[in-house]
Every structure is written in C-alpha cells, then in structure tokens.
C-alpha cells in the first residue's frame, strides 16, 4: 500500500477499514543470506539499503524487543552535519542529504524538519573555534553561518544573552540541520524493508553467534538457530555484549544518556539550540513539548534509566539559558544505552571473523547518522569492501593510531 493524500482520502470515504498492517510478522526461516542483529535505526536502514541498493532481499532483522525500542526511539531527534574533520564531514553530509530525500524514498512521513541547529559561543576563543569549524564545513561544501550576538538575539528571543557568567557572544548555525521524528524513522525504514521482502523478527533475542573455522554460520536466538552467510551487528548500546558472543572485545564502553520533555506550550523555540558553556541542548517538538538533554551519567551502565545528578545539571543549564523554562512542568525523563567509543567516532567495518560485520560506536550522535550508517554498512556487507565515506571509521584505527577524535578529548570514552 502506497501512502499518499489520495489514499488518505480514499480510506476516509471507506470508513478507514481497509488499512493493512504496516509490516508482516513472519516466523524465522531456517537460513538467510544476511542477518542484521538489532532493529534500531541503523539495523533497519541497513536492511532497507541492502534490499534497495544491492538487491539483497533474503535478509532478516533480528530484534530482541519491539522495533524502535532502543535508542532510535529514545533520542532527542537532532540531525546535523556540522563536523570539523574530513573523515566525519562527508559521511554526515551524505546522511543529511539522505534525510532530505528520505520521506520520498521510503514513502513515509518522518517529519524531517530543517529548522536549523545553533551552537552558542560564550567567549572569543570559542567563537574562533566555531569560525574554524564553519570554514572547514564551507570548504567541504556544507552550509554554515557564523552569527553575531545581535543575530542570535533576533533569532532566539527568550535566550538569556546577558548572563553575567556566560554572556552569549554569537553562534554557529547550520540552517539545514534540525529534527526528525525519531520513531517514525524506525517505522518508515521497517516498512520499506518489509515491502522489499526483508523479514523483521521481533521479540527474538540473539543469545549466541555460531562461528566455525573462523567463519560465521548464523545466530542462536530465543526462537532457535538461524543460519546466515553474513551477519551484521547493529546493536548500539549492547554492541560489546553481542560481539562478545563471537569472542570479540570491542573498544566500546556503554553509558546511559538521559533525555527530558516538558509539558506542551505555544511555540517558544523554533530551532535547535545548544549551550556552549555546559552540555545542554533543546528543541521544541511539534506537539509543543520542549525536548532537551545533557551529559551522560557518571558511570558505565546497561540500565535504560538515569540518575539524579545529571537531572539536576540539565535543569540548571536549562534555566540558565532559558529562564522561562523554570515555569514549565517536566513530563517525562528516560535513558538510553550509548555505545561510547574511545575516540568518539563510530566503527563500520569487517571483523576478523569471515562474514561477520560490525556497526557501533555511535556515542551521542548516532541518530543523525542513521541513513549514512545504513548506506555504508549495507555497502560493506554486500561488497565486502568499506565504503569510501566510512573509510576513516575502520576498526584498525585503534591499533594504527589514525583516530577520528572530533572533540580532541583523547582515549576516554565518557568524554566524547
């Protein structure tokens, strides 16, 4: 079934009785060409591009919960491509380009909203660093604008520009950045993959990976063994646990990141704003709630919930930046498990085990990467060769030292 205005009208006139389920609920086949472990954004996008770009449709996505129950349905929905390092810039720009055409590609309304992403600066040196990043972006063909304090004031009324401690000196704006409705991304990719014949196996946990003579043979699941020629791991926060089933130890730590949403209010912030003097970012959802977040919690964890010290930090930053937020009630708070890599950048690569591929290390920023990640992961699974856009995201960089350290924070996962 194709979604369109005409279809909507037709269904309205026939009592909305003819809608069909958005995807099938198949039983696992004994064997597939390719199995993707993890029905998050990255796993589902990979399945879609495997089918669409490479004609590989004998694919199963194996998900332990329901589709979108992981970070893809828990994030703060921000997309952007405002990176400094070439190894990142072109990859994330490709992602943004795919976001721009996504809804047409998958015939699904993902509410892609290019409302801009504004990084605030609070000192001259920070403005210099933003100018450098903005120039690097422009040289790579990516849009960026360095705004003066007056331009920021005009763009975001309600912002506490003149805080005694951290006055706003300006900002770096990427106008093509913005937000996308996160769970619609999971649903849209799932539907598109399903329509091309991909089996989506929900409530099916991978509990083992069968490897013989250095080659992957398939996965043990809670619904039995499923054979496959190729297995791609896209388990985000659980990557270390899943890779350990094949005897691999990853340069990844798992940490909790929290997010918050307020009660719905009239339009108050029509862009995405990030604080430069603390870790805080905020946007307003189409329902009216302010959606915001901050730093990861202070220790490694697999818990999908957060701790009070970070709640306090985030609330303090919120009120520093937008004093009016102190008048709002907060509705919900939740956590997701982040796969934090040692240099803050992802891994899309083969593994030493033949037929086993790895996609992880997304840290805070994997949602915006979803389309390009799926695109490049599908490429390496289909061809055996890394995609040029993800050439800097190989696993061996941790041995060679060719790190992709955007923040320059060094080999400490929790700082990225």
Ligand X SMILES: Cc1cc2nc3c(=O)[nH]c(=O)nc-3n(C[C@H](O)[C@H](O)[C@H](O)COP(=O)(O)OP(=O)(O)OC[C@H]3O[C@@H](n4cnc5c(N)ncnc54)[C@H](O)[C@@H]3O)c2cc1C
Residues contributing to the site for ligand X (CB under 6 A): 37-43, 62-65, 69-72, 74-78, 205-206, 234-238, 242, 257-259, 293, 336, 338, 362, 364-368
Q: Please give the sequence-ordered ranges of beta strands (E in DSSP) within 301-380, or none if there are none.
A: 330-341, 347-350, 356-360
Cα torsion 385, 391, 392, 397: sign: positive
Least separation, in Å, of the C-beta of 84 and ligand X? 16
How far is Cα 49 from Cα 381, in angstroms, rounded to an integer?
11
Least separation, in Å, of the C-beta of 68 and ligand X? 7
Least separation, in Å, of the C-beta of 69 and ligand X? 5
Give the residue among 270, 239, 231, 219 at the shortest CA–CA distance from 347: 239
User: Helix or strand or coil: residue 396?
Assistant: coil
Q: Alpha helices, DSSP H only, in 55-143?
A: 86-106, 124-139
Least separation, in Å, of the C-beta of 21 and ligand X? 20
Least separation, in Å, of the C-beta of 363 and ligand X? 7
Contact yes or no for 376/389 (Cβ under 8 A) = yes
How far is Cα 165 from Cα 177, in angstroms, rounded to an integer?
28
Least separation, in Å, of the C-beta of 183 and ligand X? 10
Query: Which one, 106 or 338, has the nearer CB to ligand X?
Result: 338
The torsion angles phi and psi of 370, rounded to 5 degrees, stand at: -45, -55
- Bridge partners of 47? none
Cα torsion 19, 23, 28, 34: sign: positive
If residue 116 lies in a helix (H) or strand (E), which one and from where to where? none
Query: Which one, 65 or 298, has the nearer CB to ligand X?
Result: 65
Least separation, in Å, of the C-beta of 213 and ligand X? 24
Contact yes or no for 95/400 (Cβ under 8 A) = no
Q: Count how many residues are written for the chain.
A: 416
Q: Alpha helices, DSSP H only, in 245-345?
A: 308-321
Least separation, in Å, of the C-beta of 204 and ligand X? 7
Give the residue among 135, 124, 219 at the shortest CA–CA distance from 170: 124
Query: Which one, 62 or 152, has the nearer CB to ligand X?
Result: 62
Query: Which one, 116 or 366, has the nearer CB to ligand X?
Result: 366
Query: Which one, 266 or 287, has the nearer CB to ligand X?
Result: 287
Query: Which one, 127 or 272, has the nearer CB to ligand X?
Result: 272
How far is Cα 246 from Cα 249, in angstroms, rounded to an integer?
9
Query: Which one, 45 or 277, has the nearer CB to ligand X?
Result: 45
Query: Which one, 314 or 395, has the nearer CB to ligand X?
Result: 314
How far is Cα 60 from Cα 228, in angstroms, rounded to an integer?
9
In order of 77, 237, 330, 374, 393, the CA distances from 339 in angstroms are 17, 4, 27, 17, 15
Least separation, in Å, of the C-beta of 94 and ligand X? 14
Query: Which one, 174 or 238, has the nearer CB to ligand X?
Result: 238
Query: Which one, 235 or 372, has the nearer CB to ligand X?
Result: 235
Contact yes or no for 88/96 (Cβ under 8 A) = no
Least separation, in Å, of the C-beta of 169 and ligand X? 24
């Amino acid at each position: 079934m194709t979604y369109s205005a005409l279809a909507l009208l037709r269904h309205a006139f026939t009592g909305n009785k003819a809608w069909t389920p958005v995807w099938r609920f198949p039983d696992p086949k004994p064997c597939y060409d390719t199995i993707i472990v993890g029905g998050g954004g990255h796993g589902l996008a990979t399945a879609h591009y495997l089918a669409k770009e490479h004609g590989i449709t004998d694919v199963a996505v194996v998900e332990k919960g329901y589709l979108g129950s992981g970070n893809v349905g828990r994030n703060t929905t921000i997309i952007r491509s405002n990176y400094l390092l070439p190894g990142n810039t072109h990859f994330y720009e490709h992602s943004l380009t795919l976001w721009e055409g996504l809804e047409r590609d998958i015939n699904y309304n993902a509410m892609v909203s290019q409302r801009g992403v504004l990084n605030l600066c609070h000192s001259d040196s920070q403005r210099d660093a933003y100018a450098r990043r903005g120039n690097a972006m422009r040289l790579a063909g990516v849009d960026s604008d360095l705004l003066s304090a007056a331009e920021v004031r005009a763009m975001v009324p309600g912002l506490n520009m003149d805080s005694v401690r951290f006055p706003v000196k300006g900002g770096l704006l990427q106008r093509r950045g913005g937000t996308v409705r996160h769970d619609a991304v999971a649903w849209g990719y799932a539907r598109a993959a399903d329509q091309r014949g991909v089996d989506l196996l929900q409530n099916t946990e991978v509990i083992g990976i069968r490897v013989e003579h250095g080659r992957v043979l398939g996965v043990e699941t809670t619904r039995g063994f499923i054979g496959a020629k190729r297995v791609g791991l896209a388990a985000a926060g659980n990557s270390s646990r899943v890779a350990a089933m094949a005897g691999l130890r990853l340069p990844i730590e798992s940490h909790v990141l929290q997010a918050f949403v307020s009660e719905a209010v009239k339009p108050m912030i029509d862009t995405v704003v990030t604080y430069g003097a603390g870790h805080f970012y905020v946007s307003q959802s189409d329902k009216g709630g302010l959606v915001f977040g901050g730093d990861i919690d202070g220790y490694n964890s697999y818990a999908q919930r957060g701790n009070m010290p970070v709640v306090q930090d985030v609330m303090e930053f919120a009120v520093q930046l937008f004093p009016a937020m102190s008048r709002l009630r907060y509705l919900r708070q939740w956590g997701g498990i982040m796969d934090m890599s040692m240099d803050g950048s992802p891994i899309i690569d083969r593994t030493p085990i033949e037929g086993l591929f790895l996609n992880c290390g997304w840290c805070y920023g994997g949602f915006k990467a979803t389309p390009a990640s799926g695109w490049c992961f599908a490429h390496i699974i289909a061809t055996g060769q890394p995609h040029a856009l993800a050439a800097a995201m190989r696993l061996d960089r941790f041995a060679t030292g060719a790190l992709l350290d955007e923040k320059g924070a060094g080999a400490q996962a929790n700082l990225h």
